[in-house]
């Protein structure tokens, strides 16, 4: 059992949890993920790690409500428990494999969209602890959905926040801000990490390819089982078959067929929608309306 010691609502359907997970935090590295399970009947949910403290044994995750399982998780409170938390899983960020001298020669821009802001935080923190400064673009549809801005501002980085509806910060989307930094501020980046919705990562990669900036993306959003057994997170990377959970979750964004990824994601939306509707309607849900498929 893994106790929740802190819960903080970040925005609409976005909740941050601090969990007691001493053994996991001692071996965490930026870029990895965990699998949480609420109870015996609960679904296995892969989630990227937002932060970890190996001394205090505290693991931080951000959960976005998408279907019934994530809605149940976000209804938990401080003092409640997850039955299972497994990890760390997946390969760490490629930045971990680079020497400090090599890192100092990199001019890195991180781009986070929506809940994708959470998994870039430990990477920026990793660099910040080494005294290496970087630029961070945080994007969201609205101000209320922009997360962790204050946490990033405490690190050694330049933060550029933007919203699609122009309710806060710079005018979104994130590609607008990236173009401004490259063309108006004349910043020459030689490494980019972009994490967020597939459509966002696709257009970031199209832009960075144009500017010849190597780009890493995280495909955590397409994982289902998290062990490579279900096959749901299969994708083509440079013409080779890969699985996000065991080969990733991070890949060379310029080699990914994002259109294929988005088609694959769409196949699971109906099932998530039906499960969520059943949870909301409870005993009144009969499945006979013909609209949700039962």
Q: Residue 226's pLDDT is what?
A: 66
> Do 169 and 105 share a structural domain?
yes
Q: Is 225 exposed, middle or buried (CB count within 10 Å of its CB: 0-12, 13-18, 19+)? A: middle
Range of the domain at 107: 94-259
Question: Which one, of 34, 35, 45, 33, lies nearest residue 72 by Cα?
Answer: 45
Same domain, 105 and 83: no
Coil, strand or helix at 123: helix
- CATH number of the CATH domain containing 251: 3.40.50.80
Is 110 inside any structural domain?
yes
- Residue 171 domain flag: yes
**For residue 41, what pLDDT is reported?**
82
Same domain, 182 and 71: no
For residue 188, the model assigns a pLDDT of: 96
Domain count, the chain: 2
* Same-domain check for residues 116 and 244: yes
Residue 126: inside a domain, yes or no?
yes
- The answer to whether 55 and 80 are in contact (CB under 8 A) is no
Predicted local distance difference test score (pLDDT) of residue 220: 85
Give pTM, 2 decimals.
Answer: 0.87
pLDDT in the model for residue 26: 94
Cα separation, 241 vs 236, in Å, equals 5
pLDDT at 286: 45
Which of the listed residues 60, 89, 118 is the one where a domain comes to its end? Answer: 89
Residues 69 and 116 in one domain: no
Q: Which of 69, 89, 109 is the last residue of a domain?
A: 89
Is the same domain home to 63 and 121? Answer: no
277 falls within a domain: no
Say whether both 194 and 165 belong to one domain. yes
Helices marked H in the chain — which ranges?
22-25, 68-74, 100-104, 117-129, 149-153, 174-179, 198-210, 244-247, 258-266, 269-281
Enumerate residues 6+ apart whose C-beta is below 8 A from 57. Answer: 20, 21, 22, 23, 25, 26
Q: Is residue 268 part of a domain?
A: no
pLDDT of residue 287: 47
Does one domain contain both 146 and 165?
yes
Last residue of a domain, one of 55, 89, 123: 89
Beta bridge partners of 241: 236
pLDDT at residue 227, rounded to an integer: 66
Q: From first to last of the 294 residues of the chain, give the pLDDT tens digit.
A: 899 999 999 988 899 999 999 999 999 999 999 999 988 888 888 898 999 999 999 999 999 998 888 999 999 999 999 999 999 999 999 999 999 999 999 999 999 999 999 999 999 999 999 999 999 999 999 999 999 999 999 999 999 999 999 999 999 899 999 999 999 999 999 999 999 999 999 999 999 999 999 999 998 887 776 666 677 778 889 988 888 888 889 999 999 988 888 887 676 655 554 454 455 445 544 444 444 444
Q: 151 and 208 share a domain? A: yes
**Residue 11, domain CATH:** 2.40.30.10
Are 110 and 6 in a shared domain? no
181 in the same domain as 44 = no
* Statement to judge: residues 31 and 169 lie in one domain: no
């Amino acid at each position: 059992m893994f106790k929740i010691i802190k819960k903080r609502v970040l925005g609409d359907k976005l909740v941050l949890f601090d969990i007691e997970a001493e053994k996991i935090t001692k071996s965490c590295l930026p870029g990895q993920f965990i699998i949480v399970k609420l109870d015996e009947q609960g679904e296995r949910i892969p989630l990227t790690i937002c932060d970890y403290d190996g001394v205090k044994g505290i693991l931080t995750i951000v959960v976005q409500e998408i279907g019934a399982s994530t809605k149940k998780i976000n209804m938990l409170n401080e003092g409640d428990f997850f039955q299972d938390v497994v990890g760390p899983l997946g390969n760490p960020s490629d930045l971990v494999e680079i020497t400090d001298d090599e890192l100092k020669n990199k001019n890195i821009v991180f781009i986070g969209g929506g809940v994708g802001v959470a998994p870039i935080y430990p990477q920026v923190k990793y660099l910040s602890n080494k005294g290496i400064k970087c630029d961070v673009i945080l994007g969201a549809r609205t101000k209320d959905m922009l997360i962790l801005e204050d946490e990033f501002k405490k690190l050694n980085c330049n933060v550029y926040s933007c919203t699609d509806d122009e309710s806060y910060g710079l005018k979104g989307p994130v590609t607008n801000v990236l173009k401004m930094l490259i063309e108006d501020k004349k910043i020459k980046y030689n490494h980019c990490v972009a994490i967020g919705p597939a459509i966002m990562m696709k257009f970031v990669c199209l832009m960075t390819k144009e500017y010849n900036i190597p780009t890493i993306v995280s495909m955590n959003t397409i994982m289902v089982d998290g062990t490579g057994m279900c096959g749901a997170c299969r994708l083509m990377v440079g013409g080779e078959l890969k699985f996000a959970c065991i080969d990733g979750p991070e890949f060379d964004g310029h080699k990914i067929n994002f259109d294929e990824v988005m088609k694959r994601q769409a196949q699971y939306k109906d099932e998530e929608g039906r499960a969520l509707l059943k949870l909301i309607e409870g005993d009144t849900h009969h499945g006979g309306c013909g609209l949700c498929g039962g």
